[in-house]
Amino acid sequence: MCISEISEFMKPVMFTRGVPPRESLPVDALADCAHQVILATGVDVLQYAPVAGYQPLREILAHQCGIPAERVLLGQGSLQILDILLHCLLRPGDEVAVEQPTYDRVLTLMRRAGLQIMPVPLQQDGLDIEKFEEELKNGRKIRLFYTIPDFQNPSGRVMTLGERRRLVALSQTYHFTIVEDAPYRALRYSGEEVTSIFDLSPQTIIQLSSFSKLISPGLRVGYALLPQDLIENVSEYAADTYINPSYVNHAIIYRFIINGYMQDHIAFLQAMYAGRLQAMLTALQRQLSGKCIWTQPQGGFFVGLWVDPALKEHVLSLNAEDYGLKLSDGRGFFVTGGEDFIRLPFCALQTDEIQVGIQRLSAMLTR
Amino acid sequence: MCISEISEFMKPVMFTRGVPPRESLPVDALADCAHQVILATGVDVLQYAPVAGYQPLREILAHQCGIPAERVLLGQGSLQILDILLHCLLRPGDEVAVEQPTYDRVLTLMRRAGLQIMPVPLQQDGLDIEKFEEELKNGRKIRLFYTIPDFQNPSGRVMTLGERRRLVALSQTYHFTIVEDAPYRALRYSGEEVTSIFDLSPQTIIQLSSFSKLISPGLRVGYALLPQDLIENVSEYAADTYINPSYVNHAIIYRFIINGYMQDHIAFLQAMYAGRLQAMLTALQRQLSGKCIWTQPQGGFFVGLWVDPALKEHVLSLNAEDYGLKLSDGRGFFVTGGEDFIRLPFCALQTDEIQVGIQRLSAMLTR
């Protein structure tokens, strides 16, 4: 049986979809929450409203973060808030820095906004913050550093407390803004939480987060914690873009929290995803030990894998679908390079799919 | 009793809010629709999804408009889709044309996108399309014409069929795009419907519309009917901005239509708003005849009023709140001028509030 015959009946393993699985969505609870909030507060949440979002949810988030509610901007997903921030804080031609690899959609937004992007290498053993500092010392003017410190997309890596502290110190010395994107932070399946960058300097850091990975991506509820001096400008830009976000969706999230579903739901997700992560790490160890290196995440959605540099041309020339796999092109997560990088999302796959997928990946890389 | 004493106990009449009234919102029906759609289709509508929006609602709209569903882009309100269109179709420095007065938020978006704006005067007796044509003949390069032909915001005026035809002919001769914004079109309380600009040239015109004025602004469901050659570019820009809009909200609207609520609800709105419009026109006739001119809308949300040019400095120097009124600054609807223009929204006011408001306006203008 040749490869093309195999591919005809093999259902491909989707290592492309960094999404929550269908079975994670709390459908019944959300149906009830939606019904309750619209009945109880319909004349408010169905109307035009202030741009910063549904006040009761702002207050819950503010309380959790120890800041005033006016510093919380609720939007329609956090990506769009980032787009607004890039336009409010920067001008075309300005230079920003990102971990490399980083979230591909953020690179797209930055390029679209006409920004120069400096990649700071992020390897399995950590962020190359020395290189970054050296460039700053040499006078390179960086206006903003975008980071996903917890269970990074696409690498799965957690920034150490030391790296976080050093980054904050650099931001103060060289006057750049840090945007901390934290959508995976609550999804830790083992190990100890690391202090957020926001908590290291809550007056200056912008934190973005979202309920997309914790409750539902379809509700499109993301938010920003903003420094006091940015609130007016960013809110006005948002109002000019979409008047106000959907309060209905904010209120559904609010009701989900108030009804007491949140804690149990996160525990349920953690238990489900922990098993899938373990299956991924075990399969990698069995199949690819010595041929690739990969991160050892304790949470989130992704394992990042670097193939042996000798194989990188080999990866690009292969058609993953012939091996029953769908893979994202690693180069999408890189400003330059990425031919040797593979992102492996595990949350939306059953453990047996993960095992089969990694077997196929091994077959592909070692044929 | 002096004016400042009056203002202390007068509840101001809000001639600022171009919004549906609280009593128009179909709260119970929407609560049921939300519950039904999430229970029945939660694993789809709560998930990430294709950017163009919830397919069943696209199909309904496409069927109504006689185009393929792929030409319907559902978004998060129509203002945001317009922002995306401005970025996809135009470059900073390009020139666009608008009716003057026009929707203030659109002027803001155009200025933000770095566009030059040519105002085409819209008076109570019609659009000065001769002036526009003359400029085109003289070689002025207009890339896009934005219009609200039905019950315009802020004037309430309906563009005649003759004007619509002439505009379409000009767009073909001089190669500019027409964006027809039609959120008020279904809200006609008397008289005969005029063919939409879209229906005059469905392959080339972009029509925007929304469920904000027909069902609920808070759901943020707007849409665009796009020419075939723009679909890919506009959809990609939208996906890069917000991944996908909230399918939950789209599906609630879909269910509202499928459950058969739409027709009765629009009839209910028409009956309620017709009485408020009549109260407005009657009060204007009684109080301001000979001192101002105003449009005679047969639908929509607004009456546009021009005060005698001799009074325009007078209008600007007055503090409406001293007379128990809240008024929008007319200049917001104009590229230049507008000192003599007042927008009078009537839908969110009770008939007695309208009568009192116009009495106060008369007192203010004739003191």
- pLDDT, position A147: 98
Above pLDDT 90, what percent of chain A? 90
Residues in B closer than 8 angstroms to A246, CB to CB, are 76, 218-220, 246, 249
Residue from the list A28, A241, A248 with its beta carbon closest to the beta carbon of B249: A248
A235 touches chain B (CB under 8 A): no
* CA atoms within a 13 Å half-sphere pointing along the CA-CB vector of A161: 6
Average pLDDT over residues B262-282: 98
Q: Which of residues 29-68 of B touch A (CB under 8 A)?
A: 30-32, 34-35, 38-39, 42-43, 45-49
B83: chain A residues, CB-CB within 8 Å: 241
Average pLDDT in the A219-235 region?
98
Give the integer Cα–Cα distance in Å for B290 and A37: 50
Q: How far is A22 from chain B (nearest CA, A)?
A: 6
Report which of residues B37 and B314 the model is more confident about.
B37
Contact at CB, B242 and A79, closer than 8 angstroms: yes
Q: How far apart are CA A55 and CA A60, in angstroms?
A: 9
Q: Is B114 near chain A, with CB under 8 Å?
A: no
List C-alpha distances in Å: B318 to A362, B62, B324, B344, B367.
78, 49, 12, 17, 10
State pLDDT tens for residues A178-222. 999 999 999 999 999 999 999 999 999 999 999 999 999 999 999
Whether B247 and chain A come into contact, CB under 8 Å, resolves to yes
Nearest residue of chain A to residue B75 (CA atoms): A242
Chain A residues inside the 8 Å CB shell of B106: none
Q: Contact A76/B220, CB-based, under 8 Å?
A: yes
Question: Residue A216's closest CA among A169, A164, A256?
Answer: A256
> Both ends of chain A: CA-CA distance in Å?
15
Asked if A83 lies within 8 A of B241 by C-beta distance, the reply is yes
Three-state DSSP class for residue A159: coil
pLDDT band, very low/low/confident/very high, at A153 (cuts 50, 70, 90): very high
The answer to whether B27 contacts A43, with C-beta atoms less than 8 Å apart, is yes
pLDDT tens digits along B119-156: 999 987 899 999 999 999 999 999 999 999 999 999 99
Task: Please tell me the distance from the alpha carbon of residue B213 to that of residue B26, in angstroms, as a whole number.
Answer: 12
Name the pLDDT band for A1 (thresholds 50, 70, 90): very low
Show residues of chain A in contact with B249, CB under 8 Å.
Answer: 246, 248-249
Residues in chain A closer than 8 A to B301 (CB atoms): none
B81 close contact with A: CB closer than 8 A: no
CB–CB contact A79 B35 (8 Å): no
The answer to whether residue A348 scores a pLDDT higher than 50 is: yes
Supply the mean pLDDT for chain B. Answer: 95
A27-261: which CATH topology?
Aspartate Aminotransferase; domain 2 (3.40.640)
Across the interface, whether the CB atoms of A218 and B32 are under 8 A apart is answered no
Q: Is B311 in the A-facing interface, judged by CB distances under 8 Å?
A: no
Contact A48 B218 (CB under 8 A): yes
Does pLDDT of A315 surpass 90? no
What architecture does CATH give domain B3-25+263-366?
Alpha-Beta Complex (3.90)
Q: Which of A28, A79, A218 sits opposite B248 (nearest CB)?
A: A218
- What is d(CA B103, CA A84) in angstroms, rounded to the nearest whole number? 22
Please tell me the class of the B27-258 domain: alpha beta
- Give the pLDDT band (50/70/90) at residue B1: very low
Distance CA A242, CA A75 (A): 10
pLDDT for residue A328: 92
* Contact assessment for residue B32 and residue A36, using Cβ atoms and an 8 Å cutoff: no
Q: For the segment B12-27, what is each residue's pLDDT rounded down to a tens digit? A: 999 998 999 999 999 9
Q: Do A35 and B31 touch (CB under 8 A)?
A: yes
- Which run of H or of E encompasses B200? helix B197-200
Nearest to B246 among A48, A240, A249 (CB): A249
Q: Which residues of B touch A49 (CB under 8 A)?
A: 218
Minimal Cα distance from B37: which residue of A?
A31
Confidence of residue B3 (pLDDT cuts 50, 70, 90): low
| B189-244 tens-digit pLDDT | 999 999 999 999 999 999 999 999 999 999 999 999 999 999 999 999 999 999 99
Please answer yes or no on whether A218 and B48 come within 8 Å at the CB atom: yes
Q: Which of B47, B54, B232, B53 is nearest to A18 (CA)?
A: B47
Task: Indicate the residue type of A320.
Answer: A
Q: B31–A20: do the CB atoms touch at under 8 Å?
A: no
Contact: B39, A31; criterion CB under 8 Å: yes
Residue among B20, B49, B76 whose CB faces A242 most closely = B76
Contact A22 B79 (CB under 8 A): no
Q: Residue A9 has what pLDDT?
A: 58
Per residue in B43-67, pLDDT (tens digit) is 999 999 999 999 999 999 999 999 9
Q: List all residues 6 or more positions away from B43 whose beta carbon is below 8 Å from its beta carbon.
A: A22, A25, A27
Chain A: nearest CA to B338, how far in angstroms?
21
**Nearest residue on chain A to B38, judged by CA atoms?**
A31
Contact A220 B246 (CB under 8 A): yes
Tell me, what's the pLDDT at B6? Answer: 53
Residue B80 near chain A (CB below 8 Å): yes
In chain A, where are the structural domains located? Answer: 3-17+263-366, 27-261
**Do residues A146 and A96 make contact, with C-beta atoms less than 8 angstroms apart?**
yes
**What CA–CA distances, in Å, run from B30 to A218, A347, A357, B39, B262?**
18, 33, 43, 14, 11
From chain A residues 7-26, the ones with a CB under 8 A of any chain B CB are: 19-20, 22, 25
For chain A, the average pLDDT equals: 95
Which helix or strand (DSSP H or E) is residue B322 part of?
A: none
Has residue A140 got a pLDDT over 50?
yes
The answer to whether A79 contacts chain B (CB < 8 Å) is yes
End-to-end CA distance of chain B: 15
Complex ipTM: 0.95
Q: What homologous superfamily does CATH list for A3-17+263-366?
A: Aspartate Aminotransferase, domain 1 (3.90.1150.10)
Q: Do B241 and A30 touch (CB under 8 A)?
A: no
- pLDDT at position B269 over 90: yes
- pLDDT tops 60 at residue A116: yes
**Contact check, Cβ <8 Å, A246/B48:** no
Residue of B nearest to A31 (CA): B35
Size of interface A-B (CB pairs under 8 A): 150
- What's the average model confidence in pLDDT over B305-323? 82
Task: Find the CB nearest B248 among A39, A112, A249.
Answer: A249
Picking from B335, B337, B343, B332, the residue whose alpha carbon sits closest to that of residue B304 is: B343
The residues with which A180 forms a beta bridge, in sequence order, are: A147, A207
User: What pLDDT is attached to residue A341?
Assistant: 95
Over the stretch A54-86, which tens digit does the pLDDT of each residue have? Answer: 999 999 999 999 999 999 999 999 999 999 999
Token pair of A229, please?
């001096």
